[in-house]
Amino acid sequence: MKDMLTQNDLKQIGEVVDGRFGAFEKKLDKKMDEKFIAFEAHIVPEIVKKVGDKVVEEVGEMIEQNVLPEFDRLENTLVTKNYLDDKLADLRGELAPKKKTPLY
């Protein structure tokens, strides 16, 4: 039974293994980050251009189909200052004869 590992031996082995894997893991993380950054720098501008162009096109279509017709409808139903001035003049003209005149 002399050859069995003690709890302390297992703890020391674990620390050594963790230390070596920790260093390896840091190197791997750094390498993966470098690769990902390089990939991202290459592919993201291409994706942004393609997606951006598509988004601009679709937003333009949406504006043409939904917003501009609504503006036209509003423009045709809004009253103008001239219209309101004419209506106010008509109203004043209707009220003028109805005013009471003094009897003296």
Q: What is the pLDDT of residue 65?
A: 92
Is residue 33 in some structural domain?
yes
Is residue 56 in some structural domain?
yes
Q: Which residue has the tokens 């937003």?
A: 59
Is residue 1 in some structural domain?
no
Give the residues of the chain that fall short of pLDDT 50: none
Q: What is the pLDDT of residue 78?
A: 82
- Alpha-carbon distances, residue 70 vs 18, 44, 64, 76, 78 (angstroms): 67, 37, 10, 10, 12
Is residue 18 in some structural domain?
yes
Residue 60: both structure tokens together? 């333009």
Question: Which range marks the domain in which residue 42 is found?
Answer: 9-96
What is the biggest distance separating any 2 CA atoms in the chain, rounded to whole angstroms? 137
Residue range 53-80, pLDDT digits in tens: 888 889 999 989 998 898 888 888 888 8
In 3-state terms the chain splits into helix, strand, coil percentages (rounded to 5) of 85, 0, 15
Is residue 3 in some structural domain?
no
Q: What is the pLDDT of residue 50?
A: 83
Domain count, the chain: 1
Q: What is the pLDDT of residue 103?
A: 59
Is residue 101 in some structural domain?
no
Is residue 104 in some structural domain?
no
Q: What is the pLDDT of residue 22?
A: 79
Q: What DSSP string runs through 29-78?
A: HHHHHHHHHHHHHHHHHHHHHHHHHHHHHHHHHHIIIIIHHHHHHHHHHP
Query: Hey, how many other C-beta atoms are within 10 angstroms of the C-beta on 92?
Result: 9
